Amino acid sequence: MSLAPDPVPRPLDHLAERGEPDAPALVLREGTLTHKDLRTRVARMAAWLQSQVPGRGERVASWAAKGELTCLLPLACARAGLVHVPINPLLKHAQVAHILADSGARLLLATEARLKTLEQGDLPGHCRALAEDGALAAIGAFEGSLGPSEADPDELAAILYTSGSTGRPKGVMLSHANMWLGAVSVSHYLGIASDDVTLAVLPLSFDYGQNQLLNSWYAGACVVPLDYLFPRDVAKACARHGVTTLAAVPPLWVQLTDLDWPADAVAPLRRLTNTGGALTVDLVRDLRDIFPQARLFPMYGLTEAFRSTYLDPALVDTHPTSMGKAIPFAEILVIGDDGKVTPAGEEGELVHCGPLVAQGYWQDAERTAERFKPAPAESEYGGTAVWSGDRVRRDADGFLYFVGRRDAMIKSAGNRISPQEIEDAAIATGLVAEAVALGVPDERLGHAVHLVVRAAAGADDAEERLPKALAKDLPNFMQPKVIHWREALPTNPNGKLDRTAIARGIVG
């Protein structure tokens, strides 16, 4: 590992060319792909994609569990000059329909079971759907191949959909450079080596979930994708594959620390990485007890700029609640309400500058202008910066600490959830007249979704019918843990629902 990471971005598909040919690159149920296999299959998949979607810059969506198709598509789409749109497998037909329509996807590759859940009108007229098994068979029989591309690193490579504080998910536009430099940065500060084995348990539709593939392949390492049903499946996979790198969100770490870990699962682990919420002091202690030889990396990030900060494992015990400092290629400023950098100890908004900043929101100039603005004058990078919406403070030694969010976003089990999306779904059932979704602190989830509602006039059996209706329309991670029924909801002087008063009525 060099003393400083290479700051020169390259076309994303070049990641397939980095590993030693005979070294393992991807462990699938069907067998292990070497880095030579990775190159061959990315080249063939890219050529097949180009034959199916010939227009440069067109969007290809995937909606499937982790496997060869979903793992290789980020590189194959990039090589074919296409834009990958990964869809969270947990989403249901309404959210998928929105993403397909909003992105203008020309092709959807999904499992047969998921395709059967789509309802009439969900698949836009501009989009063709192919089942995953059929697509893989067609790719395997395809005779063409494409060599490494010469794409401009500033070209769009992917659109990752993420919830906003209001409305439906919005598409974050990521360039080849964003994703390449993100892989370089994380691989560097984690110290990933060619003999590492990464267990990929996070969804590939998440920025860090996908980066686990990319940073591992940048280092010539191996990835084991895992869709787990139970926490013990993670421990078993660690033992079976000699996993050295494990990433999770705090709720999963809580579940994993409840397990009795076998020695052959613990021994190979070199590093643990955390994202999607802060670790508690107790959880850090438990992880230290179970994995004494593993380095623990707390991290903070946002999809609009990938990762922003990490805490050096050597400082976790002395700075247990800190977000750390900027990762390579990131510049983090704390900007006060007056638009200036705050002094040490004073809170402000976290502003991320540098080449990891995304290109904005897909076809949404208004929301792009709200979050993506010219970098503050104090920035060394300049250009465009992203305003995170998170309130933080920096101490005299430069360490950052999270204070809170500026908006009403709910962070539950590592998922960013839009309150309005849940509220809209509840009202759309016709069973409630008013609805407010809130995040309530929860020991295992970080925050649990609570829904406060007033029944619609004449809605018989609404209390019994609403949970069933929401289960049909919302993915599991958006389902309210508790629904609170009220005769009336308080309003503020402007006549709007008073979220503060409503929340106070729940948590006291």
Length of the chain (residues)? 508
List CB contacts of 277: < 8 A, sequence separation 6 or more: 249, 250, 251, 411, 414, 446
CB atoms within 10 A of CB 376: 17
Pick the closest to residue 163 from 377, 386, 477, 403 (CA basis): 477
Pick the closest to residue 298 from 248, 258, 256 (CA basis): 248
List CB contacts of 237: < 8 A, sequence separation 6 or more: 199, 224, 226, 228, 243
Q: Residues 23, 189, 84, CA angle at the centre, nearest 5°?
A: 65
Q: Is the pLDDT of residue 372 over 60?
A: yes
pLDDT on residue 1 = 43
Q: Is the Cβ–Cβ distance between 247 and 307 less than 8 Å?
A: no
Average pLDDT over residues 474-488: 93
How does the average pLDDT of the chain come out, rounded?
A: 93
- The alpha helices in 104-144, defined as continuous H runs, are 112-117, 132-141
Proportion of the chain above pLDDT 90, given as a percent? 79
Predicted confidence band at 170 (pLDDT cuts at 50, 70, 90)?
A: very high
- The CA-atom distances, in angstroms, between 449 and each of 8, 255, 263, 394, 420 are 42, 19, 37, 30, 12
- Helix axis angle for 68-80 and 207-218, nearest 10°, is 80
The whole-angstrom separation of Cα 224 and Cα 29 is 10
pLDDT on residue 165 = 52
The DSSP secondary structure of 341-356, one letter per residue, reads: BPPTT--EEEEEESTT
Q: Is the pLDDT of residue 407 over 90?
A: no
pLDDT on residue 250 = 84
Average pLDDT over residues 216-233: 97
Lowest average pLDDT, out of 34-38, 41-45, 68-72, 477-481, goes to 477-481
Q: What is the pLDDT of residues 251-300, one digit of tens each?
A: 789 889 999 999 999 999 999 999 987 788 888 999 999 999 999 999 99
pLDDT on residue 231 = 93
* Exposed/middle/buried for residue 425 (C-beta within 10 Å: 0-12, 13-18, 19+): buried
Backbone angles phi, psi at 297, to 5 degrees: -115, 95
The order of strands in the sheet holding 156-162 is: 128-131, 107-110, 59-63, 83-86, 156-162, 170-175
List CB contacts of 440: < 8 A, sequence separation 6 or more: 447, 448, 449, 450, 481, 482, 503, 506, 507
What is the model's pTM? 0.86
* Most confident option among 74-78, 278-282, 320-324: 74-78
What are the chain's domains? 410-507 (3.30.300.30)
Average pLDDT over residues 403-412: 75
Q: What is the pLDDT of residues 439-459, one digit of tens each?
A: 998 888 888 999 999 898 888
Which three-class secondary structure string do you get for 54-102? Answer: CCCCCEEEEECCCCHHHHHHHHHHHHHCCEEEECCCCCCHHHHHHHHHH
Proportion of the chain above pLDDT 70, given as a percent? 97
Query: In this structure, which amino acid lies at residue 417?
Result: I
pLDDT on residue 242 = 98
Can you tell me whether residue 290 is helix, strand or coil?
helix
R_g of the chain, CA atoms, integer Å: 23
The whole-angstrom separation of Cα 114 and Cα 70 is 14
